[in-house]
Amino acid sequence: MKILVTVKRVPDPEQKVKFKGTSVDVSAANWVINAFDEYAIEAALRLNENAATGEKLGETIALSIGPKDVSQQLRSALAMGADRAILVGGADEELDSFAVARIVKAVVEREKPDLLLMGKLATDGEASQVPQLCAALLDWPQATFAAQITANAEGLEVKREVDTGIEVKQVKLPAVVSVDLRIISPTAVVNGKTPATHAYQEGPRYASLKGIMAAKKKEIKEISLADLGVKAAPVTKLVSAEPPAGRKAGVKVKDVAELVSKLKNEAKVL
Amino acid sequence: MLYTDEHSKLRQTVRRFVEQEINPHVDAWEEAELFPAHELFRKMGKLGLLGITKPADCGGQELDYSFAVAFAEELGRCNCGAIPMAIGVQTDMATPALARYGSPALKAEYMTPTVAGELVAAIGVSEPGAGSDVASIKTTARKDGGDYIINGSKMWITNGMQADWICLLVNTGEGKPHENKSLVVVPMNAPGVNRAKKLKKLGMWASDTAQLFFEDVRVPQSNLIGGEGMGFFMQMQQFQEERLFGAATTLLGLDRMIQETITYTRERQAFGQSILDNQTVHFRLAELQTEVESLRALVYLTTERYVANKDDFEVVKLASMCKLKAGRLARVATDACLQFWGGMGYTWDSAVARSMRDMRLLSIGGGADEVMLGIICKLMGTLPRRKKS
């Protein structure tokens, strides 16, 4: 099937967050692909290949929105195995969830994929809004937080983990699916072509050296918002961002008696 | 030398591979004094990491040597020296001559599966009586019909207990020591090959190091790499990549050790202040980091020259300098850091103690420091001529 998978760049979560005034300072950020989007790429590649023969079953297109530098993250997606990429030019500060969803919708209308596959959230803002907004704007069925995807004659069966157990959804294509962490476990994606006995290595695949060199020659099509006929026009405004208050140092107690006394009189938990 | 986006992506893949497939197992492998070479190399072969510079007809990517250096540098993230060394033997020590001079049939039989990680390779140069003095090796290959019959022994052979084949330096004639040698591919399951013992070493435990005996081992003459008598020359050429690779793998290990020493000494208090606040400590660490950066610059410079011209004679001098400096610096740096770690550093399981044990080999393997100095002097024109006796 033809899959459009979204790729957002986020500051490396392992890097320390810096603040400047009332916002997060990303000037020295080390940009990486949002982890859940990397899982979505992996899921798309698994859906679109016969892992036993290497046969390709469909086209995987990576989409990102942002400044030109984002092409680096798109190249990483191409190195993993995506066939081509689309980069819609945009300024990070103008891109709220609603703006992103409208842009994605415009690209979907151009590309007409069978499936829009997305990470369940981006690890920077953790809004978890765009997949649902896209489904609403496109009027497509949605299945969010997918832990397992099985392709079948009617479309996709999506299993999602909820508090009470596993919820099973059947969606017709075209559809919007957002993926959770479990989607990268060895047998989480079933496409009917890869033998049922095949177990993938846990996690998103490594970019092979061959993939890295091939990615250099793959197409990254740049489109402007004007080309798409979309205005970013954000509807939310970031008021301020500040670090949580630092934790105060603890105290050492001499003995159990002092501990009990503190728990009783200061913490008032006893 | 500027790393391109492709170099960085290669490094990202290697970094993740080391963090996920190697480092979690290092302690167990060190303990076992063995790592699962076939299993690990097959995984690396699938990712194309064992054939970075190898010809495309062997399944390699045929990239220039700067990619091998990027790969080697990133392998420095391993929490030990043994695994980068074992990988280096497979990619840059046992195989450059075969890739460059081997016949198509020989390459198809040995190079292609080695690039894929199906076969494990070793390099057999040193002998009990000839280490850095390569010209003095005694192992012989005598012709018999269409075969060679090999007799002799090899010592300190990395991957020696697990290797499927070895690139063996042998004497194929009686002539001058630089003109009578050849490189021959010997399958390790051939009758007469005896893996005598796994050697216990100061460091590099996860890597298996063997003493090997060859007793009337018969291999077809078509297993010869290049021409007869070219062995010494090819081995000297092959050493350039080994030396550059070895120097590149030390860089991140030294960086990490210095960083960890900073973290530890910042926390550790003595006499009312942190150890790090003593000028002798932070100055020394600054000095060492400066030296690491200088070594990195030298490695990059040498790589640039080597990429521009494989046969540039200046590269021989520069690669020898890289190897010399890496070995010397590793000795000084591990010793200085261990000192700052104090009693904690002296414990057997500390990372800095492992670095000291592992990195000590750099000044010995692949040509000792003194041999490097000899080569550099020769190319500087300062080496006294030996009187003929």
B1 pLDDT tier (thresholds 50, 70, 90): low
Which pLDDT does position B389 carry in this prediction?
Answer: 60
Question: Is B9 in contact with A75 (Cβ distance < 8 A)?
Answer: yes
List residues in chain A touching B: CB distance below 8 A.
72, 75-76, 79, 203, 206-210, 212-213, 215-216
Inter-chain touch A213–B63, beta carbons under 8 Å:
yes
Q: Of how many residues is chain A composed?
A: 270
Indicate the helix (H) or strand (E) that contains B151. strand B147-158
- Among all residues of chain A, which has the CA nearest to that of B7? A212
Crossing angle for the helix pair B5-17 and A71-80, nearest 10 degrees? 60
Q: Which residues of A touch B49 (CB under 8 A)?
A: 209
Provide the shortest C-alpha distance from residue B13 to chain A (in Å): 6
Is B9 in contact with A207 (Cβ distance < 8 A)?
yes
Residue of B nearest to A210 (CA): B48
Q: Give per-residue pLDDT as tens, A112-146.
A: 999 999 999 999 889 999 999 999 999 999 999 99
Residue A72 near residue A157, CB atoms below 8 Å: no
Contact list in B for residue A76 (CB cut-off 8 A) is: 9, 12
pLDDT: which is higher, B1 or B230: B230
- Provide the residue ranges of all domains of chain B, joining segments of one domain with +: 5-115, 121-227, 232-380
Q: How far is A72 from chain B (nearest CA, A)?
A: 8
Rounded alpha-carbon distances, angstroms, from residue A54 to A193, B57, B60, B146: 11, 20, 19, 42
Which of B3, B5, B9, B52 should one mutate to test binding to chain A, selecting the residue with the greatest count of A CBs within 10 A? B9
Q: What is the pLDDT of residue B155?
A: 93
With an 8 Å Cβ cutoff, is B20 touching chain A?
A: yes
Per-residue pLDDT, averaged over B232-251, amounts to: 90
**Calpha distance B64→B60 (Å, rounded):** 11
C-alpha torsion angle, residues B78, B80, B83, B89 (rounded to 10): 110
What average pLDDT does the segment A152-176 reach? 96
CA distance A156 to A117: 12
The pLDDT value given to residue B233:
87
Best to test chain A binding among B4, B8, B10, B13 (most A CBs inside 10 Å) = B13
Rounded Cα gap, residues B274 and B276, in angstroms: 5
Name residue B143's beta-bridge partners.
B148
Distance CA B133, CA B131 (A): 5
Backbone angles phi, psi at B66, to 5 degrees: -60, -30
Q: Is the Cβ–Cβ distance between B195 and B161 less than 8 Å? A: yes
**Is residue B24 within 8 angstroms of chain A, CB to CB?**
no
One-character DSSP codes across A199-242: -PPSSSPPPPHHHHHHHTTS-EEEE-HHHHT-----S-------
CATH superfamily, domain B121-227, is Butyryl-CoA Dehydrogenase, subunit A, domain 2 (2.40.110.10)
Phi-psi region of A79 (alpha: psi -120 to 50; beta: other; left: phi over 0): alpha
Note which residues in 66-95 of chain B have CB less than 8 A from chain A. Answer: 67
pLDDT band for B388, please (50, 70, 90 cuts): low
Q: Thinking of the domain B232-380, which architecture would CATH place it in?
A: Up-down Bundle (1.20)
Which of A200, A212, A213, A220 should one mutate to test binding to chain B, selecting the residue with the greatest count of B CBs within 10 A?
Answer: A212
Mean pLDDT to the nearest integer, B317-337: 97
How many contacts, defined by CB atoms under 8 Å, are there between A and B?
A: 38
pLDDT at B219: 96
Distance between alpha carbon A3 and the CA centroid of its chain, in Å?
14
Q: Where are the domains of chain A?
A: 3-265
**A250-253: long-range contacts, CB 8 A cutoff, minimum separation 24:** none
For B37, the enclosing helix (H) or strand (E) is helix B37-46
Q: How far is B39 from chain A (nearest CA, A)?
A: 14
Candidate from A75, A76, A210 with C-beta closest to B48:
A210
Average pLDDT, chain A: 94
Asked if B63 reaches chain A (Cβ–Cβ under 8 Å), the answer is yes
Asked whether the beta carbons of A180 and A161 are under 8 A apart, the reply is yes
Pairing of strands A155-162, A3-6: unpaired
Q: Decide if pLDDT at A9 tops 90.
A: yes
Percent helix / strand / coil, chain B, rounded to 5: 55, 15, 30
The token pair at A195 is: 């033998």
Per the CB < 8 A criterion, the answer to whether B117 and B44 are in contact is yes
CB interface of B with A, residues 42-61, below 8 Å: 46-49, 52, 61
Superfamily of segment(s) B5-115 = Acyl-CoA dehydrogenase/oxidase, N-terminal domain (1.10.540.10)
Is the CB of residue B77 less than 8 Å from the CB of residue B25? no
Q: What is the pLDDT of residues B114-153, one digit of tens each?
A: 999 999 999 999 998 887 788 889 999 999 999 999 999 9
Top CATH class of A3-265 equals alpha beta
Do A209 and B52 lie within an 8 Å CB cutoff?
yes
B216 in helix, strand or coil? strand
Q: State the pLDDT at residue B177.
A: 83
Q: Alpha carbon B86 to chain centroid distance?
A: 7
Q: Count Cβ atoms below 10 Å from residue A10 Cβ, excluding itself.
A: 20
Q: For B101-117, how does the pLDDT look when each residue is reduced to its tens digit (9 = 90+)?
A: 999 999 999 999 999 99
Kindly state the average pLDDT of the residues A216-240. Answer: 92
Nearest to B61 among A79, A213, A215 (CB): A213
What 3-state class would DSSP assign to A5? Answer: strand
Q: What DSSP state is assigned to residue B328?
A: H
Check if B242 is active-site.
Answer: yes
- B10 → closest Cβ in A72, A203, A209: A209
Q: Do B46 and A75 touch (CB under 8 A)?
A: no
Q: Does B6 touch chain A (CB under 8 A)?
A: yes
